[in-house]
Amino acid sequence: DTEVTQTPKHLVMGMTNKKSLKCEQHMGHRAMYWYKQKAKKPPELMFVYSYEKLSINESVPSRFSPECPNSSLLNLHLHALQPEDSALYLCASSPRRWAASPNYGYTFGSGTRLTVV
Amino acid sequence: AQKITQTQPGMFVQEKEAVTLDCTYDTSDPSYGLFWYKQPSSGEMIFLIYQGSYDQQNATEGRYSLNFQKARKSANLVISASQLGDSAMYFCAIPSGGSNYKLTFGKGTLLTVNP
């Protein structure tokens, strides 16, 4: 079982809906990430949280709004999405905001498959 | 900027045989690391193996090993004794960004293991 839990696993939403994706980890990691993965493409970074503070926003449209209520939880609030936002959204965590060694490697969740209709 | 190239969109291998998945990279950092991840159809990214640029030996983890050739900037993944459960997408990745805050992935190789 993955140590990063994402819910829901699947989500279908209309373009006028508001929904949220949830990510939880209990490994004591202090960095958490949202990645977006389109079909047949590699994941691309969206946001980085370090010690519950947003430290990196990779020029993501404002219809995606991240939130880190505490060190174990990461949310992604979705509003007014477009069909092209349909993708697999992966959450990841690492002990620190540094991925350069296996001691600080990422642990990914299973993802949320989002379909915008 | 760091770059990862995986030139094999798809690979086929017979069960119990070995297979090599190619990965070349480009980085100006004197010290770096390379990751390989497996992504089954379920979507989860599973960490397989890591190679540090200054590691004296090629990394091995069970049936996974790296053929690391630093001068050629290649880090090919070797899977020995393939199993049906190895069928998945495989990504090579390198940390990038200031303080290596993100992973930059190659385009991936879809491995299919035939019985």
- Facing B91 at nearest CB: one of A42, A45, A109: A42
Cβ separation of B99 and A97 shorter than 8 Å?
yes
Assess whether pLDDT exceeds 60 at residue B64.
Answer: yes
Burial B16-43 (b: 16+ CB within 10 A, else e): eeebebbbbbebeeeebbbbbbbbeeeb
| pLDDT at site A60 | 97
Q: A8: cis peptide before it, omega within 30°?
A: yes
Structure tokens at B29: 């950092």
Find the closest chain B residue to A90 by CA distance.
Answer: B44
DSSP SS3 for B5? strand
Cβ separation of B50 and A90 shorter than 8 Å?
no
- Per residue in B15-47, pLDDT (tens digit) is 999 999 999 999 988 888 899 999 999 999 999
Assess whether pLDDT exceeds 70 at residue B11.
Answer: yes
Q: Which residues, numbered 75 to 94 in chain B, qualify as contacts with chain A under a Cβ-Cβ cut-off of 8 Å?
A: 91
Cβ separation of A56 and B102 shorter than 8 Å?
yes
| pLDDT at site A36 | 98
Nearest to B91 by CA among A46, A40, A32, A3: A40
Q: What is the pLDDT along chain A (117 residues), one digit of tens a residue?
A: 559 999 999 999 999 999 999 999 999 999 999 999 999 999 999 999 999 999 999 999 999 999 999 999 999 999 999 999 999 999 999 887 765 566 667 899 999 999 999
Cβ partners under 8 Å of residue A116, min gap 6: A12, A13, A14, A15, A81, A82, A83, A84, A85, A86
Please report, for residues A53, A117, B38, the alpha-carbon distance to residue B42 in angstroms, rounded to integers and kept in the order given: 30, 22, 11
Q: Which residues, numbered 37 to 76 in chain B, qualify as contacts with chain A under a Cβ-Cβ cut-off of 8 Å?
A: 37, 42-47, 50, 52
- Facing A98 at nearest CB: one of B52, B100, B106: B100
- Per residue in B100-112, pLDDT (tens digit) is 778 899 999 999 9
Count the Cβ atoms, other than its own, within 10 Å of residue B61. 13
- Facing A105 at nearest CB: one of B50, B97, B101: B50
| pLDDT at site A101 | 62
Find the closest chain A residue to B92 by CA distance.
Answer: A42
Nearest to A96 by CA among B31, B35, B101: B101
Structure tokens at A78: 């979705």
B25 and chain A in contact, CB less than 8 A: no
Largest CA distance in chain B: 45
Burial tier of A36 (Cβ tally within 10 Å: 0-12, 13-18, 19+): buried
- What whole-number distance in Å separates Cα of residue A115 and Cα of residue B55? 43
Nearest to A78 by CA among A31, A19, A13: A19
